[in-house]
Amino acid sequence: MDWFVAALKKYAVFAGRAQRAEYWYFMLFYMLVALILGFLDGIAGTTVGQGNEAMGLLSLLFVLAMLLPSLAVSARRLHDTGRSAWWMLIGFVPLVGVLVLLVLAALDGEPGTNRFGPNPKEAGIRSL
């Protein structure tokens, strides 16, 4: 839960670096809440549309509220691997784009300081 809170504290901070744990715990929490809200939308009958085009009111509000933090933590994760946040645009390439982003998010961060800032792993060790 601390990793999710850390990501939310940096709500719109696109500068710096994010460790794998910060990114993946944020995404895990995001997906769990989205699933629960989708289920609640189905029970409450607040779903609009049918099939793959269905979207619930609670889910929509959550996705809109979390859009900026999810983009920010993704940008910082790419920064940790030494890549620009512009790499997020590769997600628009059908089939391959999302897989490339998953691989990049799973890579270990660059050791030491890179052009985006100090290594958050090393900074965390120093603060203990």
Question: What tens digit of pLDDT does each residue of 22-53 get?
Answer: 999 999 999 999 999 989 998 998 888 777 77
pLDDT band at 116 (very low <50, low <70, confident <90, very high): very high
φ and ψ of 117, to 5 deg: 135, -175
Please give the pLDDT value at position 127. 38
pLDDT beyond 90 at 78:
yes
Are the C-beta atoms of 38 and 60 separated by less than 8 Å? no
Phi-psi region of 96 (alpha: psi -120 to 50; beta: other; left: phi over 0): alpha
pLDDT reading at 125 higher than 70: no
Q: List pLDDT tens digits, range 59-68.
A: 999 999 999 9
Helices (H), 1-110: 2-9, 20-44, 57-80, 96-106
Residue spans per domain, the chain: 2-127
Among 27-31, 47-51, 54-58, 99-103, where is mean pLDDT lowest? 47-51
CB neighbour list of residue 3: distance below 8 Å, 6 or more residues apart: 21, 22, 25, 26
| Tally of residues, the chain | 128
